[in-house]
Amino acid sequence: MSKSKPASMLIFTYLICFTLQLISPLFSGYGTVYAAPELPEVAADSYLLADLKTGRVFMSKDINTPQVPASLTKIMTLFIAFDEIAQGNLSFDDEVSISEDAWRIGGSKMFLLVGTKAKVSELIQGITVASGNDACVALAEHISGSVTSFVDRMNRQAQLLGLTNTHFVDPHGLSDENKISAWDLFNLVNAYITRYPEALQFHALKEFTYTPPGENPITQFNRNRLLWSYPGVYGLKTGFTSRAGFNLVALAERDGFSTIAIIFGSARGKSIDEGERERTVLATSMLDYLYKNFSYVQVAEPNANIGKVRVWKGKGKWVEGIAPSGLGANVEKGKEDSLSYELIFDKELEAPVHRGMKIGEAVFTCDGEEVGRMDLIAKDEVPRGNIFRVIWDSIARSILKALGKA
């Protein structure tokens, strides 16, 4: 008995060690394929990092708390300007008279001269590149007759877009009474670049030269340093006041992966050069985190037919659904084969259906977890049918509902 005890203990010890060796990777992380990536530290009052196509949020802080936007206010000013162009009320070649109020405004300028005229295209570049407050006043007066009327329109547009934590008091952002949350800003930017993609060419400009009548050319450079330092960045806007700190909306795309990074209230109290450098470093760390740890998986090409949807009371019975930016979502690297999606169409779709109207959505999941949604829109118009079609479809739908088939 005394000799068998050590032998049994030896065997028992060996089994314990062998078992621990097998299961230790589960606890130590060694060999784990899908270890959660470590989030970068972002020293800012509020921030948001999201996928532009599906709206998936990867990291955020206080995204529903109103912040001081500073020159990010100008995104709404540009939204309205491009809306006017889309409606045919304004063109890039239109000449805008420069008032004394526009000339006198403080802060960043494109250096417009009172009594002169500038083209709308020049004013837009003056806003996107030089962040010209004078250009904002000139555009506001030209579009709405006065700055006050233009600001009223800015706030009406905010309501139409469902921006519940937003309020504007000027078209340029000089006042710290302007307010917008990171989530509202995400939705504003998304609507802006979706409706008016032609605006992006102006935001991607690294420099702009304006020559006031009778004066020497003035060249100014974009304050968004990421346009030079980060491959794939193509916009969108920076902002700064002493109270707001250093703000930024950065747009980037790599291999179909479209990203938005929003920063409010960074580097407060720093010099302009130090603040811009710190803001750039923070945005770089956010974008690096995303592109190093996640991949975009495309399942359908842009504008490909996704599926047909029944249209009730229409001249036609069906409308094709498409995804303008393509169908796809982002997953952690290594999980690309685990992405799946479900198409959910509006079963109560009635004519008239307008081209570009939302008629459903794609819901993406990975390992049972939702990782994003994408709108599906109508490819074509389906006008209202005649009275006989309306009556027939009303009867047919009532019967199908009674039978539990609609």
Of 137, 113, 111, 139, the closest CA to residue 124 belongs to 139
Q: Which residues contact 231 (CB under 8 A, 6 or more apart)?
A: 254
Collapsing DSSP states into helix, strand and coil, what is residue 17?
Answer: helix
Beta strands in 292-357 (DSSP E): 294-300, 305-310, 318-322, 327-332, 339-345
- Whether 131 sits among the annotated catalytic residues: the reply is yes
Q: 53: which 2 tokens?
A: 């196509």
What sign does the CA torsion over 202, 205, 211, 212 have? positive
Residue 200 tokens, joined: 């992006």
State the catalytic residue, choosing from 53, 74, 237, 379: 74
The answer to whether 149 is a known catalytic residue is no
Helix, strand, coil percent values for the chain (each to nearest 5): 35, 30, 35
d(CA 97, CA 118): 7
**Strands laid side by side in the 369-378 sheet:** 305-310, 318-322, 369-378, 358-366, 339-345
Note if 74 is an active site residue: yes
Question: What is the rounded CA–CA span in Å between residue 406 and residue 317?
Answer: 15
Active-site option among 46, 53, 71, 179: 71
Where b means 16+ CB within 10 Å and e means fewer, 120-138 reads bebbbbbbbbbbbbbbbbb
Catalytic residue, candidates 108, 131, 181, 266: 131
- Sort strands 117-119 and 166-167 into parallel, antiparallel or unpaired: unpaired
- 44-76 burial code (b ≥16 CB/10 A, e <16): bbbbbbbbbbbebebebebbeebbbbbbbbbbb
Beta bridge partners of 48: 60, 262
CA distances from 137 to 144, 208, 315, 333 (A): 11, 19, 47, 47
The residues pairing with 51 across neighbouring beta strands, listed in sequence order, are 259
The residue whose two tokens read 């969108």 is: 236
Q: Could you list the active site residues?
A: 71, 74, 131
